[in-house]
Amino acid sequence: MKKIAVFTSGGDAPGMNACIRAVVRGAIYHGVEIVGIRRGYNGMISGDIFPMDSRSVSNIVQRGGTVLKSARSKEFVTPEGRKKAYENIMSHGIDGLIAIGGNGTFTGAEIFYNEYQIPTVGCPGTIDNDLYGTDYTIGFDTAVNTSLEAIDKIRDTADSHDRIFFIEVMGRDSGYIAIQSGIGGGAEIVMVPETHTPLKKVVSTLKDGWKRQKSSSIVVVAEGDEAGNATDIANSIKEQVGDKLDIRVTTLGHIQRGGTPTAYDRILASRLGLGAIEGLLNGHKNEMAGIVNNELVYTPFIDTIKKRKPIHDDLLRMVHILSI
C-alpha cells in the first residue's frame, strides 16, 4: 500500500488523538503516505480529505476528543452515499483505511468492503468497552475515572445529608462503566443492562441499610438498564418507600466523553494505532486491532459487530459482597 487514510467516527472517546498520532507516525515510519478524513464517513462523502505529516499530530496525545472531528453519517447508510465515498477514495488514490470508532463504524466499513473492496483495519474507540475482541477500548479507562471522581464528590454530599443518590452513567447496551465505577466508588447497588435487578431487591437493600443506620447510599445505574434510566428507577423506588428515604438523582451525561485521557488510554491507543497501520500493511483487512491478555490480536469486523462481550460474573458478585 502506498497511501492510507485515517478517520474517526461515531461518539468521541478520550485517547482517539493518541491513536491518530500513532497511525500517522507509524505510516511515516513505514514510508507510506497518510491522509486524514474529517468528520468520519460524512467527510469521506464530501471529500474532506487532507494530507498529514508528523507535525500534524504534534501536541495532541494529551488532548481529549478528536482532531479529525467525528459524526454519525445518515448518508453513508445509503448506497448512493457509499458510492460518493468510494469515488472520493479513488480520486485521492487511497489504498486502505484505518477506522477509529465502535460498532457502527465497523458495520459501515464491513458493508463498504463488500461493495467496493476497500480494505479497512479498525481501532476500538468507544467509552462503553462493549466491543468483542479486546479487553479494553480506547476511552473506557478515562470515562470510568471521570465517573468515579463524580461519584466520590456526590458521596460527600450524600453522607452530609443522609441521602440516597441514584447516579446514571453512560452505557446504553453495556454496563462496564457502571460496574467498574460502582465498585471503585463503593456503590451499594449497580444496575446494568446485562442482568435483571428487580426493584424489590433495590428497595430491600436500601431499607436494610437504613435499618442498620447507614447514613447514605449510592446506586449506580447504566443508562440502558432494563428498569429504565436513573430518574425512572428513583421515582419507582420513591413510590414504594414514601418519605422514609431522601432520594436524589444525578445524571453524569457527556462529561464522561471529554477530558484528558489517562496514561492507560494513551498507551492503549498508541498500541492499537500502530497495530492497525502495521496490520493493514501486512494484509489484514476487515478486522479490528485489539488487546487480549496484553497481546495484540485481530478480530474480524463481523465478530466485533455480532458477538456480545459479557460482564464477568465475579464483578457482579463483588458488588453484592462489598455492599454489606
211 and 298, same domain (yes or no): no
Sole residue written with cell 479529525: 68
pLDDT value at residue 246: 86
The reply to whether 10 falls in a domain is yes
pTM over 0.85: yes
9 and 103, same domain (yes or no): yes
The reply to whether 164 falls in a domain is yes
For residue 123, list its beta bridge partners.
Answer: 100
Catalytic-residue membership of 128: yes
Whichever domain contains 178, its CATH number is 3.40.50.460
- Could you tell me the residue range of the domain that residue 169 belongs to? 142-257
Domains held by the chain: number: 2
**Per-residue burial over 203-237, b = 16 or more CB atoms within 10 Å of its CB, e = otherwise:** eebbeebbeeeeebbbbbbbbbbebbbbeebbeeb
pLDDT exceeds cutoff 90 at 47: yes
107 and 227, same domain (yes or no): no
pLDDT value at residue 144: 97
Q: What is the mean pLDDT of residues 21-49?
A: 97
Cα angle 141-144-70, degrees, rounded to a multiple of 5: 70
Which of residues 197 and 133 earns the better pLDDT score? 133
Radius of gyration of the chain (CA): 22
Q: Cα–Cα distance between 177 and 257 in angstroms, integer?
A: 12
Q: Cα–Cα distance between 1 and 201 in angstroms, integer?
A: 57
Domain boundary residue among 224, 257, 290? 257
268 and 130, same domain (yes or no): yes
Across all residues in the chain, what is the average pLDDT?
A: 93
**Catalytically annotated residue among 12, 53, 95, 128:** 128
pLDDT digits (tens, 9 = 90+) for 233-249: 999 988 888 777 789 99
SS3 265: helix
232 and 276, same domain (yes or no): no
- At a CB cut-off of 8 Å and minimum separation 6, what does 202 contact? 189, 191, 219, 233, 237
The reply to whether 103 falls in a domain is yes
99 and 235, same domain (yes or no): no
pLDDT exceeds cutoff 90 at 324: no
- At a CB cut-off of 8 Å and minimum separation 6, what does 23 contact? 6, 34, 98, 100, 123, 273, 274, 276, 277
Sole residue written with cell 500517522: 24
Q: What would the grid cell of residue 254 be? A: 457527556
Whichever domain contains 274, its CATH number is 3.40.50.450
282 and 215, same domain (yes or no): no
49 and 109, same domain (yes or no): yes
pLDDT exceeds cutoff 80 at 221: yes
- At a CB cut-off of 8 Å and minimum separation 6, what does 70 contact? 8, 9, 10, 11, 12, 16, 39, 40, 101
pLDDT digits (tens, 9 = 90+) for 134-180: 999 999 999 999 999 999 999 999 888 888 999 999 998 899 999 99
The reply to whether 113 falls in a domain is yes
Cα angle 73-78-82, degrees, rounded to a multiple of 5: 80
The reply to whether 324 falls in a domain is no
The reply to whether 317 falls in a domain is no
43 and 82, same domain (yes or no): yes
**Per-residue burial over 72-109, b = 16 or more CB atoms within 10 Å of its CB, e = otherwise:** bbeebeeeebbebbbebbeebebbbbbbbbbbbbbbbb
Q: Cα–Cα distance between 143 and 64 in angstroms, integer?
A: 11
Q: Cα–Cα distance between 268 and 131 in angstroms, integer?
A: 15
Task: Give which of 201, 168, 194, 161 is closest to 182, Cα–Cα.
Answer: 168
pLDDT value at residue 320: 80
Residue 5: φ, ψ to 5°: -115, 145
10 and 135, same domain (yes or no): yes
pLDDT digits (tens, 9 = 90+) for 244-272: 778 999 999 999 999 999 999 999 999 99
The reply to whether 323 falls in a domain is no
111 and 214, same domain (yes or no): no
Question: Cα separations (Å) of 68 from 9, 40, 54?
Answer: 9, 8, 15
pLDDT exceeds cutoff 80 at 209: no
Q: What is the mean pLDDT of residues 78-98?
A: 97
127 and 181, same domain (yes or no): no
Q: Residues, the chain, total? A: 324
The reply to whether 312 falls in a domain is no
